[in-house]
Structure 1
């Protein structure tokens, strides 16, 4: 950095500090900025879809939940969650996501009535689906 530019930068910082603009003290003059804009790409957000193979089933009758994932690494396990009261509880039904992002898991439910389910991995969850157990 040449001497004139350095003195300008020091003057701007000093003046900003004396005036009381703490945030402005670290703002550089326009000449110091790179002439090429830097663009940051936002990280891909993870998502899950889910669909039950049936809308109703008998108690302990097996059905499947299938879906796809985006932004989730192959081999990552997705877990079935059931709404119990106001809480989402993870069931012991889980399966890994394959290389294309798809998954399929077998489920058996014993709680009669409308069951609210979803798939989850970490903080990513699918939209809610319902299966009525008769």
Structure 2
């Protein structure tokens, strides 16, 4: 530190001590250190919607499941899952999420009867969609 700066600093401290006491000499200006409150926001929870284009189809007849993905990156794949017994099994039907969050998947089912389907992306799943196959 150069000599002129040291003398100026000592002079300011001396004047502050004479004027207002010890605390005023070393206190920082309040306008420099008044913290603004920081509000932390949690990231939006990811969600998927799903709607089948038909509720009843013939075996191996193609239909579509479409919906919207919120909180899921564009380009991420969504997979159709079918409930088989107590397990959810991924079908060979997937599609990417577009930039607006929409997706559409073509599906064909061969298991006759009521089929419970859902769409999954990582750990996020849609509500169940029911399609009956004749």
- Report the TM-score when normalising by structure 1: 0.73
- Runs (4+) of structure 1 exceeding 2 A deviation are 34-38
Equivalent residue number for residue 72 of structure 1: 72
Deviations 1:55-113 (A, max 9, x none): 00000000000000101111000000000001111111000000100000100000000
Equivalent residue number for residue 53 of structure 2: 53
**CA drift at 1:35:** 5.2
**CA drift at 1:39:** 1.2
**CA drift at 1:36:** 3.7
Equivalent residue number for residue 95 of structure 2: 95
**CA drift at 1:44:** 1.2
1:1-134 equivalence runs, <5 A: 36-134=36-134
CA distance in 2, matches of 1:116, 1:35: 54
Question: Which sections of structure 1, spanning at least 5 residues, go unmatched?
Answer: 1-33
CA distance in 1, matches of 2:68, 2:108: 21
Instruction: Name the count of aligned residue pairs.
Output: 102
CA distance in 1, matches of 2:132, 2:46: 28
CA distance in 2, matches of 1:86, 1:130: 16
Deviations 1:110-130 (A, max 9, x none): 000000000000100000010
| SS at 1:66 equivalent | strand
CA distance in 1, matches of 2:58, 2:104: 20
Tell me how large the CA RMSD over aligned residues is.
Answer: 1.3
